[in-house]
């Protein structure tokens, strides 16, 4: 019976992109589990945070993460190893013993190379840590073609080591979006007394300098009838800078920063926003963009890193971040979207191409290819 070990430890933070990857990919891998070479189903073991045993059902095995497991990881009982070991992200602290398993390492981004708050020495250390993992891998996957190109540019990938692009899936379903908000919702102020919704633009993601959301504030001056919702974890000092800048521009009363929101609120925001704005400077994929497209919403995004792979021809692009230029692109894009009734359906179709069933199918093909070459 072939065995697969999957590092899903990042389930500890379901508000993060990696947490969502672990959750949805894990469920789909279990659903699609094939028979192995001898007709026996694959044996699956998930590394999960403490208290998450059982999250993927009772037909799989679990190992709960702990500091000790970073030093010693158990192998499959009786054999001392797993056939395939999949690290779902490049920063994992949990690796198989050398030579014990075929290691698949998934790399979502090398954003640390762009961070101005990291010294050259720190970037070098992180690059070295990742290179050592690459040296142990039997196969690499990247979350976008852009990420694959950066990996090839900044790290050594032997010609004999496969590097495959496997995109992220989208799990949101517009049918699950609630019709109304509860009175205690952090975005309830968007509801007007007559039951209508104040027009608003939406951003979803961590409030961090790399997301570049301060460039959206001047748009409130150009669109005085709109509000701006920045939904996402806001513990970084950059969030305070955003609030201060809004005060200075005189638009603080139309800026709403609810922090991290629950799934129902996020779906409501996607369903009711006039447009989704995402001027990010660096992305490994850009999942919120694909989620907004699932709702058929016009998306206005930067043309940097991986984002054109997500938006394709259906997105509107900020080619620079000068306020007048951004306002013009938003104004013209909204007009174009309103005049073209087919744009909404084309956005939905493009987003449908990023599905967890297709992602899991790709990974099962890769797992089985490693087994065949063993």
pLDDT tens digit string along 1-20?
A: 899 999 999 999 887 788 99
Count of helix runs (H) and strand runs (E) in the chain: 11, 13
Give how far Cα 202 sits from Cα of 162, 190, 205, 266, 279, Å: 38, 12, 10, 10, 11
Q: Give the mean model confidence (pLDDT) for residues 22-31.
A: 97
Tokens for 283? 């992305």
Tell me the per-residue pLDDT of 138-150, one tens digit each, with 9 for 90 and over: 999 999 999 999 9
Tell me the per-residue pLDDT of 226-249, one tens digit each, with 9 for 90 and over: 999 999 999 899 999 999 999 999
Q: Give the mean model confidence (pLDDT) for residues 77-99.
A: 80
Burial of 165 per CB tally in 10 Å (0-12, 13-18, 19+): middle
Tokens for 169? 């899936």
Length of the chain, please?
Answer: 374
Burial of 33 per CB tally in 10 Å (0-12, 13-18, 19+): middle
Distance CA 149, CA 129 (A): 19
Rg (CA), the chain: 22
Please report the pLDDT score of residue 36 as a whole number.
64
Distance CA 180, CA 87 (A): 39
Q: Give the mean model confidence (pLDDT) for residues 47-51.
A: 93
Mean pLDDT for all residues in the chain: 92
Tell me the per-residue pLDDT of 101-140, one tens digit each, with 9 for 90 and over: 899 999 999 989 988 889 999 999 999 999 999 999 999 9
Closest CA to 154 of 138, 175, 130: 130
Q: Quote the percentage of the chain above a pLDDT of 70.
A: 95
With bands split at pLDDT 50, 70 and 90, how would you rate the model's confidence at 374?
low
> What domains are there in the chain, each with its CATH number?
3-169+355-372 (3.40.50.2000), 174-352 (3.40.50.2000)
253-256: long-range contacts (C-beta < 8 A, 24 or more apart)? 254/220, 254/226, 254/227, 254/228, 255/217, 255/220, 255/227, 255/228, 255/230, 256/187, 256/189, 256/190, 256/200, 256/227, 256/228, 256/229, 256/230
pTM of the entire structure? 0.90
User: Which helix (H) or strand (E) element contains residue 249?
Assistant: helix 237-249
Please report the pLDDT score of residue 70 as a whole number.
56
């Amino acid at each position: 019976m072939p065995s697969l070990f999957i590092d899903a430890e990042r389930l500890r933070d379901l508000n993060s992109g990696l947490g969502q990857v672990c959750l949805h990919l894990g469920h789909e891998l279990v659903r699609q589990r094939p028979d192995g070479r001898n007709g026996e189903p694959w044996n699956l073991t998930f590394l999960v945070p403490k208290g998450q045993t059982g999250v993927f059902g009772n037909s799989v095995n679990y190992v709960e993460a702990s500091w000790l497991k970073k030093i010693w990881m158990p192998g499959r009982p009786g054999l001392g190893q797993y056939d395939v070991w999949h690290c779902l992200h490049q920063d994992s602290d949990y690796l198989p013993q050398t030579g014990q398993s075929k290691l698949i390492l998934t790399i979502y981004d090398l954003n640390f190379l762009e961070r101005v708050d990291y010294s050259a020495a720190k970037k070098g250390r992180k690059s070295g840590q990742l290179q050592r993992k690459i040296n142990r891998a039997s196969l690499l996957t990247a979350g976008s073609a852009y990420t694959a190109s950066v990996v090839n540019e900044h790290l050594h990938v032997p010609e004999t080591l496969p590097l495959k692009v496997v995109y992220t899936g989208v799990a949101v379903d517009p049918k699950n979006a609630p019709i109304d908000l509860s009175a205690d919702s952090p975005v309830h102020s968007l509801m007007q007394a007559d039951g209508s919704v104040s027009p608003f633009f939406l951003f979803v993601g961590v409030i961090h300098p790399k997301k570049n959301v301060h460039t959206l504030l001047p748009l409130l001056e150009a669109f005085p009838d709109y509000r701006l919702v920045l939904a996402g974890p806001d513990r970084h000092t950059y969030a305070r800078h955003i609030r201060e800048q809004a005060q200075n521009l005189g638009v603080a009363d139309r800026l709403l920063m609810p922090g991290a929101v629950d799934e129902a609120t996020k779906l409501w925001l996607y369903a009711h926003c006039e447009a989704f704005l995402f001027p990010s400077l660096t992305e490994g994929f850009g999942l919120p963009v694909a989620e907004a497209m699932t709702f058929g919403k016009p998306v206005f995004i930067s043309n940097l890193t991986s984002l054109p792979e997500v938006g394709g021809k259906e997105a509107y692009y900020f080619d620079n971040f000068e306020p007048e230029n951004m306002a013009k692109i938003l104004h013209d894009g909204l007009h174009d979207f309103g005049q073209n009734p087919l744009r909404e359906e084309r956005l939905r179709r493009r987003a449908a191409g990023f599905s967890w069933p297709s992602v899991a199918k790709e990974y099962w093909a890769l797992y089985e290819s490693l087994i065949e070459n063993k």
